[in-house]
Homo-oligomer: A and B are copies of this chain.
Amino acid sequence: MDKFKSLLTKLQSLHHENMYNNDFLLTWEKTDSEIHSVFVVAELLRRMRESNISPKIFDSGLGISLFRDNSTRTRFSYASACNLLGLEVQDLDEGKSQIAHGETVRETANMISFMADVIGIRDDMFIGKGNTYMRAVSAAVKQGFKDGVLDQRPTLVNLQCDIDHPTQIMADTLHLVNHFGGIENLKGKKVAMTWAYSPSYGKPLSVPQGVIGLMTRFGMDVTLAYPEGYELMPETEILAQKNAEASGAKFVKTNSMKEAFIDADIVYPKSWAPFAAMEKRTDLYGAGKFKEIDELEQELLAQNALHKDWECNEQLMKLTENALYLHCLPADITGVSCEAGEVSKNVFDKFREPLYIQAGYKPYIIAAMIYLSKVKNPVSTFEALIKRNKNRFLNC
């Protein structure tokens, strides 16, 4: 019990009551205390697993997943989190289902949820759509629970939408917390969230938007850098400004990658598509104008190609304060996965180990979000689990 004591005491001091029976859709809908609670619960779950104590709270139950975009790491992270807590993943594969037959969101959401405790959704392809879809699903199952259709309310975890990527950014930030030796040590650190060149098209905006939306809250000075024309959703830039003001930090925008890197403690160079272009694409899809979509793609690739110099390399890294390099992976690595990309091979190779460790927080972050949304009394349930002391793995 001793090694969990300080974390449990910390958790006891935080407010997380409103997370119970609730979704996790955007980090900025959560209080600082709630964000902090996710970190503490993630660490508790990780230490329990490492100590071979099972944190399984479900004897049965389903964790539904719906991936509207390809995914390896998020899919496996979600599966790991569900499995750790005792939920079996059941994938809603829209190809195999009758959704194509014209079901409404409301109906499908209820039909799959009779024994579902949690629903994880990735829907990041179209601006204005993903988060909206998640809220429609959430409203449907809340109503179903209220009407007595569902015995329990399945809570939602946003596994990446058009606006935010909370499981990723929370994992990134927990990595920073542990790297810098505590959440209080983040204060004053300088983060460079910068665009980077990629030969591919239409990369989601949710990572940079999520980063400026969350990291500005811990007193970190965040610089957002991108070439002209690569704006994010305007409301996320406004939000970042407000967060920074509230936490006594700075939020600065620039069109120079170099400027962002100077004296940075953390750099996060990552490609994304321009917001305005993605909005246009969504409209074209809606109108079924596929020829125009192809033309837009060609335009954007040509536009990207003007900025091949936005590469994170050793020269740029020298401008930093021995910065930690972050990426959500997979990265476009120059000379490895593409001719010219987001990061040079040298820089990537130097940070491979911390990058993998960064990614390793995601299953625990997801599990913590599920735990806090399902468990009414997080501290006493942890105490019961530790007292139960069931081995995750029997090895006598």
Q: In the bound complex, do residue B97 and residue A57 qualify as a contact, i.e. CB atoms below 8 Å apart?
A: no
Q: In the bound complex, do residue A393 and residue B70 qualify as a contact, i.e. CB atoms below 8 Å apart?
A: no
Q: So how many copies of this chain end up in the complex?
A: 3
Q: In the complex, which residues of chain B have a beta carbon less than 8 angstroms from the beta carbon of A98? A: 70-73, 330
Within the complex, the shortest CB–CB distance from A157 to chain B, in Å, comes to 17
Q: In the complex, which residues of chain B have a beta carbon less than 8 angstroms from the beta carbon of A1? A: none
Q: Mark A62-85, 1 if CB is under 8 A from B, else 0.
A: 100001001111011101100110
**Does A104 reach chain B (CB closer than 8 Å)?**
yes
Q: In the complex, which residues of chain B have a beta carbon less than 8 angstroms from the beta carbon of A291? A: none
From known contacts A72-B97, A96-B67, A147-B353, infer whether A83 and B381 are also in contact, taking CB-CB under 8 Å.
no
CB-nearest residue of chain B to A76 = B112
From known contacts A149-B360, A363-B114, A363-B115, infer whether A60 and B86 are also in contact, taking CB-CB under 8 Å.
yes
Question: Which residues 365-393 of A have a CB within 8 angstroms of B?
Answer: 374-377, 380-381, 383-385, 390-393
Interface centre among A60, A99, A144 (most CB of B within 10 A): A60
Q: In the bound complex, do residue A79 and residue B103 qualify as a contact, i.e. CB atoms below 8 Å apart?
A: no
**Does A234 reach chain B (CB closer than 8 Å)?**
no
**Does A292 reach chain B (CB closer than 8 Å)?**
no
Q: In the bound complex, do residue B70 and residue A97 qualify as a contact, i.e. CB atoms below 8 Å apart?
A: yes
Q: In the bound complex, do residue B115 and residue A357 qualify as a contact, i.e. CB atoms below 8 Å apart?
A: no
CB-nearest residue of chain B to A353 = B147
Q: In the complex, which residues of chain B have a beta carbon less than 8 angstroms from the beta carbon of A337? A: 101-104
> With the chains together, A359 CA to B394 CA distance in Å?
29
> With the chains together, A73 CA to B116 CA distance in Å?
13
**Does A90 reach chain B (CB closer than 8 Å)?**
yes
Number of A residues near B (Cβ < 8 Å) is 81
**Does A59 reach chain B (CB closer than 8 Å)?**
yes
**Does A136 reach chain B (CB closer than 8 Å)?**
no
Interface centre among A54, A84, A98 (most CB of B within 10 A): A98
**Does A238 reach chain B (CB closer than 8 Å)?**
no
Q: In the complex, which residues of chain B have a beta carbon less than 8 angstroms from the beta carbon of A108? A: 72
> With the chains together, A363 CA to B115 CA distance in Å?
8
**Does A110 reach chain B (CB closer than 8 Å)?**
yes
Within the complex, the shortest CB–CB distance from A128 to chain B, in Å, comes to 23
Q: Which single member of B57, B75, B96, B101 contacts A394 (CB below 8 Å)? A: B57
Q: Which single member of B62, B76, B84, B357 contacts A60 (CB below 8 Å)? A: B84
Within the complex, the shortest CB–CB distance from A234 to chain B, in Å, comes to 29
